[in-house]
Amino acid sequence: MPLDPVLDRAASAEAVGAALDEAGYAIVERVADPALMDRLDAEFAPHLDAVQLGHTEFAGYRTKRINNLLAKSRAAQELALHPLVLALCDRVLLPYCLRYHLHVTALIELQPGERAQVLHRDGGIYPVRLPSIPTTLATFWACNDFTAENGGTNLVPGSHRWPHDREPRPEEVVSTVMPRGSVLFYTSNLIHGGGANRAIVTRRGMALHYNLGWLRQEENLFLSLPPAIARALPEPLQRLVGYDFGGPYLGFVESGHPQTLLRASLPADMARSSPELEERKKRMKRLTLSEG
């Protein structure tokens, strides 16, 4: 029997990962409690009030978007470090890198009347023929109930295994339906897109995506979160943003470790790696890149 991609909040990372492997996506319901989601809404409210609607086909013409969420919301910081999310990142991304990073942070609110977004794969931003190893893992948190009517994300189950040029038929597309506080996981290989909002209410979701630590992040978080701002973040989040080595000799600063930009107590020893990274490097899967 196929694995059900909709799971309860008590589901293990292994169960979620198995569903993700099979369907290309997994939904875990009510992971975040209502009090946390209330804080998230309150922290984002003034930013959403100030933002204008989109002006491009991809971003939408009746959609509000804000980025740099970690600087705007402590609740978003907490969800970025949720144990289930990090366990899935470990499972999906860590076999192919020594560190993974936050890739993009975005709050996306579809207004009534918004049209469906073009279907796409997130991995398409890199010059890689799909399907490939997972270059990104997306989490999409439901800030209110997602329904087929209000623009719940369109997904194409199984498309994470499709050839690069395979296009979905209309009957192969399903809508994400999940209650507030739930989280949708999918990888860079899955075909998806925002749904059309045919309801009289908005649909708000928070995207926190993660990528392999040796790839360029979609959102330039080093400019959004320079040291003066990043210094206020919890250390695990600083490292997740990118204030850490991406691997041996990958991402150093003049004084050595990127953390020296945030913590004056660290030695400026010109180090370019660490024993932990060198040990993990021995276990990392190696990729073959070739033309043809």
Please report the pLDDT score of residue 167 as a whole number.
Answer: 96
Bond preceding residue 227 cis, omega within 30 of 0: no
Please say if the pLDDT value at position 230 is more than 60.
yes
Angle, CA of 98, 100 and 106, to the nearest 5°:
175
What would the mean pLDDT of 62-78 be, rounded to a whole number?
97
Q: Quickly tell me which residue has 């948190």 as its tokens.
A: 141
For residues 27 and 7, the answer to whether their CB atoms sit within 8 Å is yes
What is the Cα–Cα distance from 288 to 290, expressed in whole angstroms? 7
Please say if the pLDDT value at position 234 is more than 60.
yes
What is the Cα–Cα distance from 57 to 75, expressed in whole angstroms? 30
Question: Which is more confidently placed, 290 or 51?
Answer: 51
What would the mean pLDDT of 174-201 be, rounded to a whole number?
98
Please report the pLDDT score of residue 289 as a whole number.
Answer: 83
pTM over 0.75: yes
Please say if the pLDDT value at position 235 is more than 80.
yes
Please say if the pLDDT value at position 1 is more than 70.
no
What residue spans of 29-187 are helical by DSSP H? 34-50, 74-80, 83-92
Please report the pLDDT score of residue 212 as a whole number.
Answer: 97
For residues 32 and 183, the answer to whether their CB atoms sit within 8 Å is yes
- Residue 158: pLDDT band (50, 70, 90) is very high
For residues 63 and 111, the answer to whether their CB atoms sit within 8 Å is yes
- Residue 290: pLDDT band (50, 70, 90) is confident
What is the Cα–Cα distance from 85 to 279, expressed in whole angstroms? 24
Please say if the pLDDT value at position 213 is more than 60.
yes
For residues 111 and 225, the answer to whether their CB atoms sit within 8 Å is no
Mean pLDDT lowest for which of 13-22, 89-98, 114-123, 260-269? 260-269
Please report the pLDDT score of residue 40 as a whole number.
Answer: 98
Please report the pLDDT score of residue 264 as a whole number.
Answer: 87
Single out the residue of 192, 166, 164, 161 nearest to residue 27, CA to CA.
192
- Mapped onto helix, strand or coil, the DSSP state of residue 247 is strand
CA quadruple 44, 45, 51, 54: dihedral, nearest 10:
80
- Residue 292: pLDDT band (50, 70, 90) is low
What would the mean pLDDT of 271-277 be, rounded to a whole number?
89
Residue type, 48: L
Please report the pLDDT score of residue 274 as a whole number.
Answer: 87
Mean pLDDT lowest for which of 18-22, 137-141, 178-182, 272-276? 272-276
Mean pLDDT lowest for which of 78-87, 143-152, 212-221, 280-289? 280-289
Mean pLDDT lowest for which of 85-99, 175-189, 251-265? 251-265
Please say if the pLDDT value at position 3 is more than 80.
no
What would the mean pLDDT of 101-123 be, rounded to a whole number?
97
The correct answer on CATH 2.60.120.620 for the domain covering 6-221 is yes
**What are the domain boundaries of the chain?**
6-221, 224-283
